[in-house]
Amino acid sequence: MCGRLGGVTVATAPTSPRHRVVIIGSGFGGLFGAQALKDADVDITLISRTTHHLFQPLLYQVATGILSEGAIAPTTREILARQKNVRAIAGEVTDIDLSARTVTSEILGRTTVTEYDSLLVAAGAGQSYFGNDHFAQHAPGMKSIDDALELRGRIFGAFELAELASTPAEIERLLTFVVVGAGPTGVEMAGQIAELAHRTLQHDFRRIDPRKARIVLLDGADQVLPSFGQKLGGKARRQLEKMGVEVRLGEMVVDLDATGLTTKDRDGNETRIEALTKVWAAGVQASPLGRMLAEQSGAKTDRAGRVEVAPDLTLPGHPEVYVVGDLMALDKLPGVAQVAIQGAQHAAKAIEARAAGGARSEPFSYFDKGSMATISRFSAVASIGKVRFSGLVAWLLWLGVHLLYLIGFKTRVTTLLHWAISFVGRGRTERVVTEQQVFARNLIHRLGRAEAYPSLPRVPGDRGELEEGGDDRGQERAAG
Ligand SMILES: Cc1cc2nc3c(=O)[nH]c(=O)nc-3n(C[C@H](O)[C@H](O)[C@H](O)COP(=O)(O)OP(=O)(O)OC[C@H]3O[C@@H](n4cnc5c(N)ncnc54)[C@H](O)[C@@H]3O)c2cc1C
């Protein structure tokens, strides 16, 4: 989206006498924060690097061909079209000046400075490769639409290349899919790749049998879905194994390249897995805006770069600045959508009170509505209060809740139809793959243009590898 077209600087001149609110981010925190202020006597500017609101929990369904990207990423501008007190602008926030009370954002070489009276920061988190950022080149994460489309291309592309391969070893490498991270995202991804290979694609090829695909789910922890407890984690593991997923626990990835990865267990034994397709579903790193806020305010950040906020979600010493969602650290609250939504709604109430000339600094109290993860069609695990359950009931509940939180009637209807096609039938309607999906991210890095595309995962040191022909494309050509 960004590039260098010129150095125009536009300072938004706030002429409104009303309280000015700036919101950073159009995710769960940013969007729900803006909507909670719909009746407030304020002028809101919502700044986001993406022009859509992304429903991250269903990214894996875009990656595996069930849903289109539009179904999970409606345009923010359209969602907020009728809310007259908000203006959405596109841009990467590059600076927040707490003393001047300004936010600087950039897009296509155009710089915009926006003044605020109250600031809500909901910039979320990106993928963490635990210091091995070079893994990103061959193992995309699962944080954005770009990630999901690239993964779709890599997953479906692997079957295409296997159909052309000439030796059993080559076919095995091309049909091995490794998902790193056995949290909800990794479990959902591994389950869907298994369903794709075993059901959807079973009749589509002539020389290979997609049902022979090897799907590996691995994690350094001792159990699958640690946040769901041992019982549900055990059930999820058994269900995955029943579906043919190989679950490897207590193993860390120590090396990863174009053709596979190496793991090390606790006894120091190393195992090499030959696999073209790797998915990184482990670890989060908070937006760099967190560090920026911490440096100026003296707030602390935790290991993942989240900002430690006061109990009322404000930045220490700055009652006009709220940090919510995945970027905030408070009472070990998890990085889930409800924390972001409820946090943003709490901050919105306080901002409304400030705008009316009052002060409100009530502590934020989170209401845990429970958590769910799907394993396959008709099978999920759910943990609500003290109640834990699994199977079809949990899956139906998962279905209902996700439909409820998808934005827009049209989206809900089309999503339901796509689910019927994929879960009752065998089909997947979103199997289109373009060259751009698979190759653009790495080529942008190769061209040294990564800085112009801030949402791309970092891939340091990728240049040489691509030039030496060691990229995925080179491998795939050799395979063909
Ligand atoms: C694959 C996946 C599956 C998940 N599944 C679940 C689930 O099943 N249930 C659940 O409750 N939670 C789930 N989560 C977690 C949930 O999505 C997050 O907790 C939630 O999105 C956090 O909301 P947020 O507003 O803090 O951040 P986000 O939703 O990530 O939004 C951040 C926003 O900030 C913008 N932004 C970032 N940096 C800048 C910048 N510098 N300038 C301008 N804009 C910027 C981004 O474009 C984005 O709009 C999942 C997450 C992922 C990645």
Q: Please name the residue whose Cα sits nearest to atom 33 of ligand 1.
A: 25
Same domain, 256 and 324: no
For the CA of 54, the closest atom of ligand 1 is: 29
The last residue of one of the domains, among 330, 355, 380, is: 355
Residue 48 CB–ligand 1 contact under 6 Å:
yes
What was the pLDDT predicted at 16? 66
What was the pLDDT predicted at 8? 52
Gap from CA of 414 to ligand 1 centroid (Å)? 23
Which domain, by its residues, includes 31?
Answer: 9-49+91-127+285-355
For the CA of 58, the closest atom of ligand 1 is: 3
Gap from CA of 57 to ligand 1 centroid (Å)? 9
Gap from CA of 91 to ligand 1 centroid (Å)? 17
Pairwise CA distance, residues 370 & 391, whole Å:
16
Same domain, 182 and 217: yes
Q: Residue 16: which CATH number?
A: 3.50.50.60
Same domain, 112 and 140: no
Domain-located, residue 207:
yes
Q: Please name the residue whose Cα sits nearest to atom 3 of ligand 1.
A: 57
Same domain, 260 and 317: no
Q: Residue 420: which CATH number?
A: 3.50.50.100
For the CA of 30, the closest atom of ligand 1 is: 25
**Rounded to a whole number, what is the distance in angstroms from the first to the last CA of the chain?**
33
Domain-located, residue 77:
no
Same domain, 193 and 319: no
Pairwise CA distance, residues 204 & 386, whole Å:
45
Q: What are phi and psi of 298, to 5 degrees?
A: 85, 5
Same domain, 217 and 336: no
What was the pLDDT predicted at 451? 66
Domain-located, residue 122:
yes
- The alpha-helical segments, DSSP class H, found in 69-183 are 69-72, 76-79, 145-164, 168-174
- The alpha-helical segments, DSSP class H, found in 44-201 are 59-63, 69-72, 76-79, 145-164, 168-174, 184-195
**37, 345, 355, 401 from 40: Cα distances, Å:** 5, 12, 8, 29
Gap from CA of 358 to ligand 1 centroid (Å)? 31
Pairwise CA distance, residues 324 & 54, whole Å:
16
Pairwise CA distance, residues 386 & 368, whole Å:
11
Structural domains in the chain (count): 2
Q: Which residues pair with 446 in a beta bridge?
A: none
Domain-located, residue 190:
yes
Domain-located, residue 82:
no
Q: Please name the residue whose Cα sits nearest to atom 35 of ligand 1.
A: 25
Residue 402 CB–ligand 1 contact under 6 Å:
no
Structure tokens at 46: 């919502």
What was the pLDDT predicted at 443? 83
Strands 102-107 and 92-97: antiparallel
Same domain, 380 and 264: yes
Spell out, as residue ranges, where the chain has pLDDT lower than 70: 1-16, 449-480
Domain-located, residue 57:
no
Same domain, 211 and 233: yes
State which of 2, 22, 23, 28 you would mutate to test the pocket of ligand 1, scoring each by most atoms of that ligand within 8 A of its C-beta.
28
Same domain, 189 and 238: yes
Quote the pTM value: 0.91
What was the pLDDT predicted at 480? 22
The last residue of one of the domains, among 300, 326, 355, is: 355
Domain-located, residue 78:
no
Structure tokens at 190: 């591994």
What was the pLDDT predicted at 410? 84
State which of 336, 404, 407 you would mutate to test the pocket of ligand 1, scoring each by most atoms of that ligand within 8 A of its C-beta.
336
Neighbours of 115 (CB within 10 A): 16
Same domain, 162 and 227: yes
Same domain, 104 and 170: no
Same domain, 329 and 447: no
Residue 325 CB–ligand 1 contact under 6 Å:
yes
Question: Which residue numbers are catalytic?
Answer: 188
Pairwise CA distance, residues 205 & 449, whole Å:
38
What was the pLDDT predicted at 231? 93
The last residue of one of the domains, among 355, 390, 410, is: 355
Domain-located, residue 366:
no
